[in-house]
Chain A
C-alpha cells in the first residue's frame, strides 16, 4: 500500500541524510522524497512517499519519531491530505503534433513555459495521478526530458500541523 508521510524536522546539519538513511538502513523503499523550509523558524518539512504493509508503516513512523531532530510525523494514509506534484516536461513538437501538444496542455490546465520551433516545455501541476496521465498522453509524441518534484502534501481543513 502507498503511504504519504510528512516529517517536520529541526533545520539542523545532516537532518535530511538522517531521515533518508533511516529508510535505507532498514530496507524501506522510498518512492519520492522532498524537503524544504517552512514558514516556521528553523523547521523544514520533508514529504516522503513510500509503500509497504501496516507493520512496515508502523515501524517507519515510530523510527522517524525516534530521531532526535524530528518534531512531528504526520501520516496521510487515511486520505486526510491534499497532494500535489509538479512536472517539467520537454516534448517534441513539430508540424501537426504542435497542435496536439497544445490541446493536451489545455485539457490538463498546464502551461507552456518554453517554446522552440521543434519543442515545447510544459509545466504541469496536480496530484501525482494527473501528472502520470499527462505524461502518458505526451509520451507517444516524444518526451525528450522529464523532471518531477515528487509529491508534497498538506492536511485538509482549517488546522495547521501544530494544531
Chain B
C-alpha cells in the first residue's frame, strides 16, 4: 500500500517501539502532525519550547535506556533544539531528532523558516541525515535508531523536507541495518581482559573509577559484583552516580573538582586505576601532569577516541563495559583461591581510605537559623521514595545533590554532566515522568536555572505529569558567585538575581501548587506537603545565600590540593 512520507515516518517510529514523542508543530511538519492526529499508538507531548522538548526526550532516554524522540519544525524550531542535542551528545544519550525542512526545491534559497540544520548540528550529533527522497525515509530512520543506540550512543538528527513528507511510496521497513563503514567494537579483547585481571590481582592500592558509560551499558550489577568479589574501592564521576550503591562499604563517593576528599586521595595514592566508561574529564583529573602519579591505568571504553585522549593509559580495552566486566568476573572467579587472599591483602589500603573518610567526610555546618541547602538535599533523600528519579540543573544545587543525595541505583540521577546545561532539570524530569507515570520524579533546580525553562510548568499541568520541582533559592547564580568570591575578589558581577519571585503565585498561575520554606524548621513540612500533592508542585527553599560547595579542587590544581573549607 502506498503511503505518504509523513505516515511512513510514524510507521517507522512504531516499528522501533516508540510510544512517546516530544514535539512542537510548525509549517514544515504539519503533514506529520496531520498523521499524528488521532494516532493512538504514539503519545505526543507538546512542550512550550523546542529546547525543552529535546531535553524531555533526553530525560526519557536517560531514565528508560530507550531512544528518546523529539520533533521540531524547520528554522527556529530546529535551532531551538540545538542546546538539547549538544547536551545529549556530550553525555552520549541515544536520541533521534526529527526536524522539518523547507521543500527540496527551496533548500539553499534562504526560504521562509529555512536553516541548514544538518550543517549546524554536524558537530553535536553522532550523525545526521537530510532525506531527499521519500523512498529513503524508512532506511534512514532504521539507520538513525541503530546509530543512536549502538556503540557509544548519541543523538542522531533526521531533516525531512516538506515535499518528501507529502510524496507517496510503498512502505517497507528494512529488517536489518548494514553499514559497511560503521561497526563498533563491543566485545572486549580476551587477551587484554586477562591482562587486566592479572594487573588487578597484582595491585595493592586499586581503585575503580566509574563513569556514565556503566549506566549507558546497563552494567551496574556487573560493576557491583566485581567490586564485591575483590573488595575494590569504587569512585564515580557525576555521570556515574547510581552505577554503584552510594551507601556501599566500598563506595568512595564522587571524585574530582567537588568530589569527596577520600576519593581524590585514593586516586592520588592508588597504584592501579581501572577506568570504566569514564573519559578523564578535566573536572575529574584536575591538573593532568600530577594526576594519579603512581598508578598504572586500565581504560575500558566502547569509544576508542576516549582512550589516551587526556591521560596516558597502560592497558586499553575497547568494548562494551558490560561485556568486559562480565569477562573479568569470569576470569576472577576461575582463580578461586586467590580471591580471599587478595581481599585480605587490601586491608592496609582500606584502612588508609577509612582514615581519609574519617578525617574529612563530606559534610556541612548545620544551622538552626538559616536553611542550609545541603540539609534540604539530605531531607529530600530521607523523605523520598527509594526509587525516586532526580534531575538537576547545573551549579551549586547540582553538586550538593551529587554529594548528599546518595544515589543507589542506575538511571535515578538525570543531570547534564558534559555540557552543563542550565534549564535542563525541569524538562528532563518531565520526560522521565512521562516514561514512569507512577514513580516519584524530583527536579532539583537553582533559582537561576528554573527560569530558563519555567514555561514547561504548563506542559506538566496539561499532561498531568506530577513532577516535584525543588528550587534551592539563594537569590544568586550560586556557582558563579562562589567563583567570583574565591577567584575574582568578591566582585559579584551580574550574579545576583535580586528580584524576589513569588513561586506560590507562579505555580498557581500555571494551575499547580507551590510551597515555600524560609526557616529550617519548615523544610520537612514543605517536603511532606509537596510529596503528598498529587499534581506538579513547586517547593521553594530560601537557603543560606553565602553557602559554598566544598570541598573544591580549584581549576588547574592537582586532585590532592583540595580546599576543604574557605
Contacts and interface: CB of A to CB of B under 8 A. Distances in A.
22 contacts: A9-B181, A10-B180, A10-B181, A14-B118, A14-B122, A14-B130, A17-B122, A21-B122, A21-B123, A25-B123, A62-B304, A62-B305, A63-B305, A65-B304, A66-B303, A66-B305, A67-B181, A68-B179, A68-B181, A68-B182, A69-B127, A71-B181
A49 to B, nearest CB: 22
B113 to A, nearest CB: 21
Interface in A34-88: 55, 58-59, 62-63, 65-71
Interface string B163-198: 000000000000000011110000000000000000
Nearest to B130: A13
Contacts of A103: none
Contacts of A65: 304
A70 B181 contact: yes
Interface in B97-132: 118-119, 122-123, 126-127, 130, 132
A66 B119 CA distance: 18
B305 A59 contact: yes
A69 B181 CA distance: 6
A21 B121 CA distance: 12
Contacts of A109: none
Nearest 7 CB-CB pairings of A with B = A71-B181, A68-B127, A62-B305, A68-B182, A25-B123, A62-B304, A10-B181
Contact of A18 (B122, B132, B308): B122
Interface centre among A14, A58, A68 (most CB of B within 10 A): A68
| Chain A binding surface SS class | helix
B325 interface: no
Nearest to A64: B305
Interface of A: 9-10, 13-14, 17-18, 21, 25, 55, 58-59, 62-63, 65-71
A68 B305 contact: no
Contacts of B123: 21, 25
B239 interface: no
A10 B305 CA distance: 21
Nearest to A12: B129
Given A17-B119, A63-B305, A68 B126 contact: yes
B230 interface: no
Contacts, number: 38
A87 to B, nearest CB: 32
Interface in B434-463: none
Given A68-B182, A70-B181, 19 more contacts: A10-B180, A10-B181, A13-B132, A14-B119, A14-B130, A17-B119, A17-B122, A18-B122, A25-B123, A62-B305, A63-B305, A65-B304, A66-B303, A66-B305, A68-B126, A68-B127, A69-B127, A69-B181, A71-B181
Contacts of B119: 14, 17
B96 interface: no
A62 B303 CA distance: 9
Contacts of B303: 66
A58 B308 contact: yes
A66 B302 CA distance: 11
Interface string B117-150: 0110011001100101000000000000001000
Given A62-B305, A66-B303, A71 B122 contact: no
A18 B122 CA distance: 7
B306 to A, nearest CB: 9
A58 B132 CA distance: 35
A63 B180 CA distance: 17
Contacts of A18: 122
A21 B305 CA distance: 17
A21 B126 CA distance: 14
A67 B304 CA distance: 12
Nearest to B143: A68
Contacts of B309: 59
B179 A55 contact: no
Contacts of B127: 68-69
Interface in B538-566: none
Contacts of B130: 13-14
A58 B123 CA distance: 20
A22 B118 CA distance: 15
Interface string B465-503: 000000000000000000000000000000000000000
Nearest to A55: B308
Contacts of A14: 118-119, 122, 130
Contacts of A69: 127, 181
A129 to B, nearest CB: 33
Nearest to A70: B181
Nearest to A66: B305
A55 B304 CA distance: 13
B180 A71 contact: yes
Contacts of A71: 180-181
B147 A68 contact: yes
A67 B303 CA distance: 12
A47 B123 CA distance: 21
Contacts of A67: 181
Interface in B499-547: none
A9 B179 CA distance: 12
B479 to A, nearest CB: 27
A63 B123 CA distance: 12
Nearest to A21: B122
A43 to B, nearest CB: 9
Contacts of A10: 180-181
Contacts of A70: 181
Contacts of A59: 305, 309
A68 B148 CA distance: 11
B71 to A, nearest CB: 22
Interface in B418-447: none
A63 B147 CA distance: 16
Nearest to B126: A68
Nearest to B129: A13
Contacts of B304: 62, 65-66
